[in-house]
Amino acid sequence: MRLLLQGGILGLCLCAGMAGVGQVSIGFEGPGEGPAPQEMQEDGYRIATRNAMISTAEKSGDGTDGPTEIEGAMGQRSGIAILRDAPFTFVSLDWQSERGAPEVRVEGYLGDLLVAGDRFVAAPAQPGFTRFEAGALSGQVIDRLILYPQRDGAGMGALDRVILEDAPEMPETS
């Protein structure tokens, strides 16, 4: 009985410790339609924006991760930074074409060091969002993810469901 109880307690501790580990989906929820706030919080991450717009799913997409998504402001260079004090990894994002074949560039940083970058292009004939998995950024430990969504005469796109994951714990060195 004692071993069973100890095993149960150990199992609860392991489950509780793992509860904080896992994936989160940043869907740019909270603000209403219109200019994106310069800073917002979501799922423990800080999001900073420059020249970005929040759109409703009815206006520009199919709402893969809730009622809103984010896109660049027309004719302006836009940027979206997702930051956290604890390291994380970039898993994937959903990107869709509203017109043309728009691209979103993604850069991952650890401190001031650029770790890697990816570029995703939405197919113009593909309706709705397409999931793009991390390429060069796959498994890379970062603390800042910068996204540059294209929105100009050559292409317009909307961004939703950015999947991030806690970075694996590194063994301590002596």
pLDDT, one tens digit per residue, over 104-135 is 999 999 999 999 999 999 888 777 889 999 99
Amino acid letter at 13? C
What's the pLDDT at 59? 58
Would you say residue 22 lies in a domain?
no
Would you say residue 16 lies in a domain?
no
Helix (H) or strand (E) holding 148: strand 142-149
What CATH number is attached to the domain comprising 150?
2.60.120.1350
**Given pLDDT bands bounded at 50, 70 and 90, which one contains residue 6?**
very low
State the DSSP code for 38: S
Q: At residue 10, does pLDDT exceed 50?
A: no
Calculate the average pLDDT of the chain.
Answer: 83
Positive or negative, the CA dihedral 18, 22, 25, 30 is: positive
Would you say residue 81 lies in a domain?
yes
Q: At residue 157, does pLDDT exceed 80?
A: yes
Range scoring the smallest mean pLDDT among 6-20, 38-52, 122-136, 154-168: 6-20
Amino acid letter at 78? S
**CA atoms of 30 and 15, how far apart (whole Å):** 30
> In angstroms, how far apart are the furthest CA atoms of the chain?
71
Domain that holds residue 52: 27-166
How many residues are listed for the chain in this entry? 174
Question: pTM of the prediction?
Answer: 0.81
